[in-house]
Structures are given as C-alpha cells and as structure tokens.
Amino acid sequence: MTEISEFEGVEVGDVTVEPLIMQSLQLVQSILPDMLLGVSKSTLIAALGISSSLLAMASAKCKLGAPPTDISPVTDSSGNLVLRCEHSPPHEWNYGSGARTS
Ligand SMILES: [Zn+2]
C-alpha cells in the first residue's frame, strides 16, 4: 500500500500520523464490502470521519492547485474508496495504489 505522502501532489505536514491514516483507511476499506450485508451507512460515515480527522491532523494537502486544499476520503460513484481534494475540478487518488484518477 502506498503512503499518502507518496501520492502525486500530496504533502503531509506530520508524517507521524500517517500510519494511523493508513489504518483508518484500511478500516473503511474493510467495511465497504459489508455495506451490501447490512452494515449501516452511519458506520461507514463514522469510519470516513475518523480518516478525515486524521488527514486534517496530519495537515495532508493537495498541492496540485493553488492554494493547497484539504484532502478527504470519499467513495466514488462505483463505491470505491478514493481520496479527493477540494480543488475545482477536484484531484482524486485511488486508495491503495495511490494512482491519480482525476
Ligand atoms: Zn487538488
């Protein structure tokens, strides 16, 4: 798995938080397949909230546009976990490979 700080255009202010970010994203990823089995949407939202808080705590920013913006974990239209910035249009990275998808 690629660390967030290795994603193209992403800067992480506090890399000591990074292992926690990766763990929280793994938690989200583990919940996603279970959504079909009745895991409530509020459980997923709570898990995404933890990841989001840790990304903010680490000052993870997208520097592909100016000014840099925060990055949040979201699910895309296919239900895959991605990281998306707040630029318009947003930049997006595949969770896991770290590849830019937008
Ligand atoms: Zn961006």
Which residue in 4, 9, 1 sits closest to 57, CA to CA? 4
Residue-wise pLDDT tens digits, 19-36: 999 999 999 999 888 776
Question: Mean pLDDT throughout 37-55?
Answer: 91
Provide the whole-model pTM. 0.90
Residue-range domain boundaries for the chain: 4-94
User: CA angle at residue 92 from 20 to 53, to 5 degrees?
Assistant: 30
Distance 66 CA to ligand 1 centre (A): 8
CA distance 90 to 84: 6
Q: pLDDT at residue 100 above 70?
A: yes
**Residue 97 scores a pLDDT above 90:** no
CA–CA separation, 86 vs 73, rounded Å? 11
Give 90 Cα–ligand 1 centroid separation in angstroms. Answer: 5
Residue with tokens 């926690």: 20
* Residue 2: φ, ψ to 5°: -85, 135
